[in-house]
Chain A
């Protein structure tokens, strides 16, 4: 009898995505296995290309765009602004001593002292305010230029996000995971509906990108925006599509979502900034 009960509970745990026992690492393995099985022809690192990994028809046009990328100017502006000294004589390089080697792959990370998720955008603005400068706006403009430059220097590095064995870190991860799988908005849809279960399908004329590797190409230049945007800008857009009230950029909710989504992409390469439709 005891054996049957154990067997049953094992089956139950395997069946529920929210089983408390599933560690982030278990989730990652299951997540990756789902997508590699669903898209057997896509080499795993190709998921960093978003929808273009699964849509050969639009990929060709995208590759042409990438030859003269619209984000190039953001990288150039970002480099210039990154190297400009703050009023106090310091600069970003003092906050990010390893920036030349590439640092984006380590973000977001969990700061166990403060008990919060730190995103690259958050660290950029903290660097500014610590040095007496005004913070930048979160979703577009200068923050995406600095972000584009730092992402560019990190290209090819494998995403390496950690969830330390810390109650608050695990809680943040689980909050992001819950957001990802929960239905929301008047249209009652979850991120997972569009980017997990139906990834690769068409919603109207758009093919839905797989969530695996979702964060690797940010910030992105989007034709629809006629400019650059951060990951949280995109999150807000996707929340609005289902008539849900978007959260604020860099809110705990979106930081947690970024933490979960980026963790799922561990081991894939950073290839930001990127070009999108």
Chain B
């Protein structure tokens, strides 16, 4: 059976749309996985151990040496600035108590990117 021309057009438009919808769908699944990995690293006492000093939603027994990490998208709209703060907090405060995670090799570059993605999602 042959579909009427207008139906063919409609179905290809639908196909096109679902493709477009699917793409961000894949991307956001990846992003969610990254955020989850970042969270693990941030909470792990042997890795970021950010809870030692910062309150983070969902984390137990948090310290209060640093500011609570909330509303981070509003406070750090620029991802690179947030990443830089986590990479080496001494740039903003030379005498900071916060660990220079990047330069001292406490976290790898890739791990810092994941942590920053998670922190920006808070």
Q: Using a CB–CB distance below 8 Å, which chain A residues touch chain B?
A: 186-189, 193-194, 197-198, 201-205
In the bound assembly, the distance between CA atoms of A186 and B63 in angstroms comes to 20
Contact of A204 among B52, B99, B105 (CB under 8 A): B52
Asked whether A187 lies within 8 Å of B61 as measured between CB atoms, the reply is: no
Contact status A203-B104, CB under 8 Å: no
* Residues on the B chain within 8 Å of A189, using CB: 97, 99
Does chain A have a CB within 8 A of B53? yes
Q: A197 to B62, alpha carbons, bound, how many Å?
A: 19
Known: A188-B99, A189-B97, A197-B97. A202 touches B104 (CB 8 A): no
- In angstroms, Cα B94 to Cα A188, docked, is 12
Q: Are A187 and B64 in contact (CB under 8 A)?
A: no
Q: Are A203 and B106 in contact (CB under 8 A)?
A: no
8 new A-B contacts at CB < 8 Å, known A201-B63, A204-B62: A186-B104, A187-B104, A187-B106, A189-B99, A197-B97, A201-B65, A202-B62, A203-B53
B55 to chain A, nearest CB (A): 10
* Chain A CB within 10 A, most for which of B53, B97, B105: B97
Residues in chain B near residue A188, CB distance under 8 A: 99-100, 104
CA distance A205 to B65 in the complex (A): 11
Cα(A202)–Cα(B54), bound, Å: 10
A-B contact count (CB 8 A): 34
Bound complex: CA A202 to CA B83 (Å):
25
A203 touches B65 (CB 8 A): yes
B residues lining the A interface (CB < 8 Å): 51-53, 61-65, 97, 99-100, 104-106
7 residue pairs, one from A and one from B, having the closest CB atoms:
A205-B61, A193-B97, A202-B63, A203-B63, A202-B64, A201-B65, A204-B52
B105 touches A186 (CB 8 A): yes
Question: Across the interface, which residues of A come within 8 angstroms of B51, CB to CB?
Answer: 204
**A186, B97: Cα distance in complex, Å:** 12
Residue of B nearest to A242 (CB): B99
Shortest C-beta distance, B90 to chain A (Å), equals: 9
Task: Tell me the nearest residue of chain B to A197, going by C-beta.
Answer: B97
Chain B proximity of A57: nearest CB distance (Å): 14
CB distance from B57 to the nearest CB of A (A): 17
- Name the distance in Å between B106's Cβ and chain A's nearest Cβ: 6
Return the contact of B99 from the options A187, A202, A205 (Cβ within 8 A).
A187
Residues of chain B within 8 A of A197, CB atoms compared:
97
For the complex, give the distance between the alpha carbons of A186 and B104 in Å: 6
Q: Which residues of A contact B99 (CB under 8 A)?
A: 187-189
Q: How far is the CB of B104 from chain A (nearest CB, A)?
A: 5
Closest CB-CB distance, B111 to chain A, in whole Å?
15
Q: A218 to B45, alpha carbons, bound, how many Å?
A: 29
Q: Contact at B52–A203, with CB atoms within 8 Å?
A: yes
Task: Return 28 A-B CB contacts under 8 Å, by A number.
Answer: A186-B104, A186-B105, A186-B106, A187-B104, A187-B106, A188-B99, A188-B100, A188-B104, A189-B97, A189-B99, A193-B97, A194-B97, A197-B97, A198-B65, A201-B64, A201-B65, A202-B62, A202-B63, A202-B65, A203-B52, A203-B53, A203-B63, A203-B65, A204-B61, A204-B62, A204-B63, A205-B61, A205-B63
Cα A194 to Cα B105 in complex, Å, equals 21
A187 contacts which chain B residues (CB < 8 A)? Answer: 99, 104, 106
- Chain A residues with CB under 8 A of B52: 203-204
> Which residue of B53, B61, B65, B104 has the most chain A CB atoms within 10 A of its CB atom?
B65
Nearest-Cβ distance from residue B43 to partner chain A, whole angstroms: 11
Contacts of A205 in B (CB 8 A): 61, 63
Docked pose: A193 CA to B100 CA in angstroms: 14
Set of chain A residues within 8 Å of B97, measured between Cβ atoms: 189, 193-194, 197-198
